[in-house]
Amino acid sequence: MRITVRLFARLRDIAGAAELRRDVGPESTIGTVWRQLVHEFPDFASYERSISSAVNADYARMDQAVNDGDEVAFLPPVSGG
């Protein structure tokens, strides 16, 4: 199945893109998608313990399943305010 990945701030800089389309296997979770991206962009690895995520613009945990067509976002530590 095919998903959209949204990347922000330094993750976007590392990947060189704000949005990616990626194919993922059945029964994938957000964590699966993340590990696939770490493989593709080794510099993502330093965010292993500080990343958070969202699916379809709602907060989600890394063990949440993803579905075809989902928008999966990875959020480096935030600095609003």
- Which residues here bind another protein, judged by CB under 8 A? 6, 8-10, 13, 50-52, 54, 57-59, 73, 75-81
Nearer to another protein, 24 or 73 (CB): 73
What are the structure tokens assigned to 75, written together? 């959020």
- CB 39 to another protein: min, Å: 22
The span from the CA of 64 to the CA of 38, in Å, is 18
- Work out how close the CB of 25 gets to another protein at its nearest, in angstroms, rounded to a whole number: 26
Q: Which is nearer to another protein, 27 or 58 (CB)?
A: 58
CA angle, residues 42, 45, 18, in degrees to nearest 5: 70
- Least Cβ distance, residue 28 to another protein (angstroms): 21
Between the alpha carbon of residue 76 and those of residues 28, 39, 81, the distances in Å are: 21, 17, 15
